Amino acid sequence: MKSDMYAVNALLETLYGICVVALALYGFHNLWLSACYLLRPARKAQAPDSTFRPNVTVQLPIYNEQHVAERLIDACAQLNYPPDKLQIQVLDDSDDGTTALVYASAQTWQQQGINVEVVRRETRTGYKAGALAYALPLATGDYIAIFDADFVPPPDFLQRTMPYFGDYSNADVGFVQARWGHINRTYSWLTRCQALALDGHFVVEQTARDRSGYPFGFNGSAGIWRRECLEDPQVGGWQPDTLCEDLDLSYRAQMAGWQGLYAGSLEVPAEVPVQLLAFKRQQFRWAKGTIQTLRKLGRRVASHAAWSPVTRIAAFAHLTSYLIHPLLLLMLLVTLPMLLWDIDPARPLAYLSIFSFGPPLLYALAQKRLAPERWFLRWAWLPLLMLMGTGLTVNNTLAVFQGFRQQGGAFLRTPKFRIDPGQSQWQQSGYQLPLQPMVIGEFFFFLYAIATIIVAWAQGHYGAAPFLAIYAAGFGLMVGVELWQAWRSRSARDNLRRQRDRARLRAEADRIRG
């Protein structure tokens, strides 16, 4: 009997210890990237040949984007680039009213001398990767720029990216990635938190990897590819067997000898999700696709002789970053039985706390770079971002498990609503997502965290209570916001339906009187 007790005790402590050590390593990774960002010299900001003007194709993959499709096409049509060297391909896979808007917008710009073409397929095979691969043989450009539907590229985008390719010292540069900005940063606490997280990735992480010579990912939008790289047989072009076709392609390109270049000084604004369910769908796709890329390329990364051991470790840290979420969830699940076995979970947390400063420092550096005068006001949203990240553990853990089990899968789009001064009533849009069954799981873990806090407090393990409270607050935040947004959306739809009914009745009354 005692041996069984010792075995259970050892198992619980081992699982908990693995979680603590792994999370500490990811915290150290953030500190390491912050140090690389601060200490490694920056690449030259601008290549010398600013007159380099080759043929460029701009590809716009679109699927059911009635709110933002015209805005995107308009922005790309106004790129400051010689019209005879610019081709715009609208890769429209839509099956709703977006298609009519796309054709009308394309015709408007064609009449003004801008080469805007609509490319449609019979089926949506391969989703975004399939659309990009299908359209490439129809492209006339030697360089391929890509923008998702929610982006608004600035007019000088090509003027500021093409010189990098024109520099002969950059002959092996396969792609250039610009930094994402945020059109609707201040719309809500949710958009502020997303902007804070994305800024940390784009300002510090991407810059640090670029300066250090570590592989980094093309982010799927606001970047430009050398066509020769895309068509290189050793690279293999766009492939639809992961949900992060961009990350997959960029790693294959870099292992084939091509280089990525990060243009962090060039900002391309985009819309971040305003509906929590849309944000969770986006995170699910990114988490699943990243793990699929790890599953697909992990062995090649581990054995890639051209990369140093440190570079390979940096690549694995990048490709495994979403493992943080199942580790956090496992840590919570193990804590309650540990407490019931009278094992204090607070002691190992002291080691984790040493490296827990990694993410806050990274986000602070990003805001200090972007907004020196008001960086603290942006960074002050960090506690909510921490709760949101903790609340995502159920969503992203499921995505990680699916990523390990299968390649490919349905590419579920993130709905965009054009949240700017011209339109912000997203609750009335048909693109909003309905409440998902996952909210039940999140509510279960909210109750589980509450129960664990009660047990910890009752047994006098007060040091564990604040850490457990983060779980409870994170899951409670997810459940509360999802239910609140669902109620607001239903109310908005009901109000819109009543307004339409009243307008119809007034029109009918006017007809009768007339």
Q: How far apart are CA 32 and CA 212, in angstroms?
A: 11
Annotated catalytic residue within 92, 93, 150, 199 = 93
Q: How far apart are CA 35 and CA 196, in angstroms?
A: 19
Residues 244-260: pLDDT tens digits? 999 999 999 999 999 99
Percentage of the chain lying above the pLDDT 70 cut: 90
Kindly report the number of other CB atoms within 10 A of residue 414's CB atom.
23
Q: What is the pLDDT of residue 118?
A: 97
Establish whether 93 is a catalytic residue: yes
Q: How far apart are CA 253 and CA 237, in angstroms?
A: 9
Decide which of 418 and 346 is more confident. 418
Judged against a pLDDT cut of 90, whether residue 382 lies above it is answered with: yes
Q: Which two tokens stand for residue 441?
A: 């799981």
Backbone angles phi, psi at 4, to 5 degrees: -65, -40
Give the residue among 184, 176, 253 at the shortest CA–CA distance from 221: 176
Q: What is the pLDDT of residue 278?
A: 95
Architecture of domain 39-272: Alpha-Beta Complex (3.90)
Give the residue among 278, 245, 226, 221 at the shortest CA–CA distance from 126: 245
Give the residue among 148, 154, 155, 187 at the shortest CA–CA distance from 68: 148
HSE toward the beta carbon, residue 101, CA cutoff 13 A: 19
The ranges assigned to domains in the chain are 39-272
Residues 217-235: pLDDT tens digits? 999 999 999 999 999 999 9
Judged against a pLDDT cut of 60, whether residue 1 lies above it is answered with: no
Q: How confident is the model at residue 421 (pLDDT cuts 50, 70, 90)?
A: low
Backbone angles phi, psi at 167, to 5 degrees: -75, 120
> Which residues face 88 on adjacent strands?
58, 116
Annotated catalytic residue within 92, 150, 246, 248 = 246
Q: Which two tokens stand for residue 100?
A: 């009519």
HSE toward the beta carbon, residue 243, CA cutoff 13 A: 26
Q: How far apart are CA 341 and CA 351, in angstroms?
A: 22
Judged against a pLDDT cut of 60, whether residue 385 lies above it is answered with: yes
Give the residue among 474, 339, 460 at the shortest CA–CA distance from 396: 474
Residues 432-482: pLDDT tens digits? 888 999 999 999 999 999 999 999 999 988 888 899 999 999 999 999 999
Give the residue among 75, 224, 82 at the shortest CA–CA distance from 90: 75
Q: How confident is the model at residue 502 (pLDDT cuts 50, 70, 90)?
A: low
Q: What is the pLDDT of residue 431?
A: 87
Residues 281-312: pLDDT tens digits? 999 999 999 999 999 999 999 999 999 999 99
Judged against a pLDDT cut of 70, whether residue 423 lies above it is answered with: no
Q: How far apart are CA 447 and CA 475, in angstroms?
A: 9
DSSP assignment of 23-40 equals HHHHHHHHHHHHHHHHHS
Q: Which two tokens stand for residue 10?
A: 């050892």
Characterize 7-21 residue by residue with b for buried, 16 or more Cβ atoms within 10 angstroms of its Cβ, and e for exposed.
eeeeebbebbeebbe
H-helix segments, 320-381: 324-340, 346-355, 358-370, 375-379
